[in-house]
Amino acid sequence: MPGTPLARAEHFVWLTARVLEQRRFTHHFLDGSAAAAEAVETALNAYRNDDGGFGHALEPDLRGPVSQPLHTAHALRVLDGIGRCGGQRAERVCRYLTEVSTVEGALPAVHPSLRGYPAAPWIPVVEAPKGALLATGPVVGTLHENGVWHAWLFRATDFCWAAIEALDSTHPYEVEAAVAFLDAVPDRARARDAAHRLGKLVREQQLVVLDPDRADRYPLPAGYAPGEYHFAYDYARGPDSLARQWFTDAEMERSLDFLAAEQGEDGGWPMRWRAWAPGTRLEWRPIITIEALRTLRAYGRPIV
């Protein structure tokens, strides 16, 4: 398929994406107007429930209509991307977060209300789940990034600090959640210290592929799919991220070269984890494609 990376991706999005991702692509790459942002929010509202949370497979690996923390984290990232993550929107979400929090004041990765609905087989549903950094970190980080203050945030922030500072063994998705928190939490000095320690852990435990040409020489965390590796850009989505300091310029450039080369013949970027149901890969790939383009653009890589 000829054309620029953006043109090829645009064809892929129109061909395969849900309405929400079509609207997001338009806003981020074609028309950043207020009207385009409004269209994104209108599409997102189709996933919102009366309890203030989000459901309806917004995060494609969790199916069914019920609100879930991971869906709500996804919704907040969408709102953050269009500059609408505050005010009454955030207030509604925080009421939901308060209702579903665990005894630690944190969010479970999966709320028991999902029981009976389809979900990825690696996502267990238990009656009394514990708080998870995986779900809590990105939500708290996004709310702090947007200057939101709500009673729910105090205990949730303390939970994230304690969870990150206690880490001695982890896995890539948990690290991404920690970075989302550390990049936005107000105590910047403490965040820098915690990020420095976390970066050392990532390198010591080989949780990042530093040489994409030899990815198969790196270990995969338990339960991950073949090829489900993580690269420098997965942790440092932009040059301002604290995780950017974990990598040399050469390591970062190699990872970005690899990301750019990952665009497929159909214009989209691949999904590395397991596709467990017929529609999940189709729904995930436009999301992944939008984020790949945003990362490349953030680092000044040409996409047009």
pLDDT tens-place string over residues 259-272: 999 999 999 999 99
Per residue in 30-75, pLDDT tens? 999 999 999 999 999 999 999 999 999 999 999 999 999 999 999 9
pTM beyond 0.85, yes or no: yes
- The tokens 């050469």 sit on which residue? 250
Q: Tell me how far apart the alpha carbons of residues 293 and 12 are, in angstroms, rounded to a whole number.
A: 13
- Cα–Cα nearest to 106, from 164, 190, 186: 164
Local confidence band at 289 (pLDDT 50, 70, 90 cut-offs):
very high
| pLDDT attached to residue 1 | 61
Name the residue type at position 141. G
- pLDDT higher than 90, residue 295: yes
User: Could you tell me which residues come within 8 angstroms of residue 207 by beta carbon, excluding any fewer than 6 positions away?
Assistant: 170, 171, 172, 175, 201, 221, 230
Q: Tell me how far apart the alpha carbons of residues 264 and 250 are, in angstroms, rounded to a whole number.
A: 24
- pLDDT higher than 90, residue 2: no
Residue 205: C-alpha distances to residues 10, 26, 168, 212, 219 (Å): 37, 39, 10, 17, 9
What DSSP character marks residue 62? B
Per residue in 84-137, pLDDT tens? 999 899 999 999 999 999 999 999 999 999 999 999 998 889 999 999 999 999
Per residue in 207-232, pLDDT tens? 999 999 999 999 999 899 999 999 99
Mean pLDDT of the chain: 96
